[in-house]
Chains A and B, each alone.
Chain A
Amino acid sequence: AQSVTQLDSHVSVSEGTPVLLRCNYSSSYSPSLFWYVQHPNKGLQLLLKYTSAATLVKGINGFEAEFKKSETSFHLTKPSAHMSDAAEYFCVVGRGPGGGNKLTFGTGTQLKVEL
């Protein structure tokens, strides 16, 4: 069994300040973890993935995430937010190196970036 908890449904930051979106996971096997982003009226775009290699994972657009097994966390960070980062972000868990067949999604975090 696998599940994901995104701790914040909404996060608001000022442009140029750091972003932290929190995610905790539960899995009965070694998980693969992903962050996907959804801009308004668009599909789900893969930001980054963890599949049991390096625990610090770098993704697109300056985002990165750190897999911490002891804390069962996979928080998403970015040093400096841009207006274009405003979107909904989903933490996702799966099984196997590519996530397996069945991805399990969190409830999403809506990121707002203010001037």
Chain B
Amino acid sequence: EPEVTQTPSHQVTQMGQEVILRCVPISNHLYFYWYRQILGQKVEFLVSFYNNEISEKSEIFDDQFSVERPDGSNFTLKIRSTKLEDSAMYFCASRSGWNQPQHFGDGTRLSIL
């Protein structure tokens, strides 16, 4: 069964550094998402992306965050200058159509030191 693939599984970064989290959505999917889960808290929506632009974003997704689909297969989340509170599990998701559910990857655990 096709899967959403996320790399790396664990990323450790110094505070203030830039980090890029990578995702390969399922190949025929058109809608792409990032969520995060801070330890002990709920999974929270960050951003949705369709037709090469952001379609919706949460208040968490401020100017420090950006997303990109640099080619036909990858979908990335960049955090420009990381803070301690960015430490979380980041999940990528994708879906094939508006009436289809989102499928999630295994997540990237981001640890900011």
A interface residues (Cβ-Cβ under 8 A, vs B): 34, 36, 41-46, 49, 51, 90, 96-99, 101-108
Give the interface residue-count category, chain B: 20 to 34
B interface residues (Cβ-Cβ under 8 A, vs A): 4, 6, 31, 33, 35, 41-45, 48, 55-56, 58, 91, 93, 95, 97-107
Q: Decide if A43 touches B43 in the complex (CB within 8 Å).
A: no
- The interface residues of chain A lying within 8 Å CB-to-CB of B107 are 43
Known contacts A43-B4, A44-B91, A90-B43: A99-B102 contact under CB 8 Å: yes
- The interface residues of chain B lying within 8 Å CB-to-CB of A99 are 101-102
- The interface residues of chain A lying within 8 Å CB-to-CB of B93 are 44
User: Known pairs A43-B107, A98-B101, A107-B42. 5 more at Cβ < 8 A?
Assistant: A43-B104, A49-B101, A98-B95, A101-B31, A101-B45
